[in-house]
Amino acid sequence: VHGAQHLEAYWQRSETLAQAVLTPQQRIEELTDIIERFIFVMPPVEAPAITMHTSHPPPTLLLQQSVFKETLRQELSPHASCLHRIICNMRTQFPDLRLIQYDCGKLQTLDILLRQL
């Protein structure tokens, strides 16, 4: 009986599997150097979330929505905190100027003309 329970526990948590499948935090720590140096996606635009407004909503509904938003924020914030650095980098870093230059034909032509001067 003890052996069967041990075998069942082994399948629930295997150290080999735990080492092979990294948590998001572990993956970010492993890729810190790359995350610090590169931005993979530049968001085209950032806007506040859409909000709905109704005249004279029931106070209980407003309270429900407020409690829901706060509960959601409290529950998700600890899990999303590891993404904070990536989000900040996407807002403040810009692509390498050489990449911008070669992404635009006009800038390539201008580069050639300026080098000929």
The arithmetic mean of pLDDT across residues 6-11, rounded, is 62
Does a structural domain hold residue 91? yes
Check: pTM over 0.85? Answer yes or no: no
Domain that holds residue 26: 7-42+79-116
Read off the pLDDT of residues 46-87 as tens digits, 9 standing for 90 and up: 788 888 888 899 999 999 999 999 999 999 999 888 888 888
Q: Can you tell me the distance from the alpha carbon of 10 to that of 4, in angstroms, rounded to the nearest whole number?
A: 10
Does a structural domain hold residue 30? yes
DSSP conformation class of 104: -
Does a structural domain hold residue 57? no
pLDDT of 10 strictly over 90: no
Domains: count for the chain:
1
Q: Can you tell me the distance from the alpha carbon of 67 to that of 61, in angstroms, rounded to the nearest whole number?
A: 10
pLDDT of 14 strictly over 80: no
Does a structural domain hold residue 23? yes
Does a structural domain hold residue 92? yes
pLDDT at 38: 75
| Pair of tokens at residue 102 | 């070669």
Does a structural domain hold residue 100? yes
Do residues 39 and 93 make contact, with C-beta atoms less than 8 angstroms apart?
Answer: yes
| Pair of tokens at residue 57 | 């909503």
Read off the pLDDT of residues 93-112 as tens digits, 9 standing for 90 and up: 666 666 665 566 777 788 88
Do residues 42 and 90 make contact, with C-beta atoms less than 8 angstroms apart?
Answer: yes
The arithmetic mean of pLDDT across residues 16-41, rounded, is 82
Does a structural domain hold residue 73? no
Does a structural domain hold residue 85? yes
